[in-house]
Structure 1
Amino acid sequence: MAAMSVQSRRTGEPPGTVRKEKAGGPPRPPHRPRARAAGRAPYLLLLPALAVTVVLLGYPMVTNGVLSFQNLNMGQLIQHVTEWNGVDNYRQILGNAEFWRVTGRSLLFTAANVLLIMVVGTLVGLLLARLGPRMRLTLLFGLVLAWAMPPIAATTVYQWLFAQRFGVVNWVLDRLGWHGMADFNWTGSQFSTFFVIIVLIVWQSVPFVAINLYAATTTIPKELYEAAALDGAGVWKSFASVTLPFIRPFLYATTFLEVIWVFKAFTQVFAVNEGGPDRLTEILPVYAFIEGMGGQHYGMGAAISLLTIVILLALTSYYLRIVLRQEEDER
Structure 2
Amino acid sequence: MVNIAKIAVGVLLAVALALGVYGWMLAKAPKPADPQVQTSSSEGKAASTVNVVVAAQALVAGQAIKAEDLQLAGLSSRPDGAYDDVPAAVGSVPAVDIPKGAPILKGQLVTGLALKVPDGERAVAVKVDESVGAGNRIRPGDFVDVFFVLRRDGNEIDQSQARLLLSRKRVLAYGAASVDALTSQEKADSKQQGNGPESARTAVLSVPVQEVSQLALGGSSGSLLLALRNPADTSEPDMDKFSPLPGVLAVSLPKGATANAPLEGADAAQAGVAMSTLAGSTGIPATRMSADKPMTAGVAKPAVPRTRTASADPSLSVEFVRGANSQTVRY
Question: Which of the two has greater strand per residue?
Answer: 2
Q: TM-score range by the shorter chain?
A: under 0.3
Greater C-alpha Rg: 2
TM-score in terms of structure 1 length: 0.27
Greater length-normalized contact order (CA 8 Å, ≥ 6 residues apart) = 1
TM-score by length of structure 2 reads 0.27
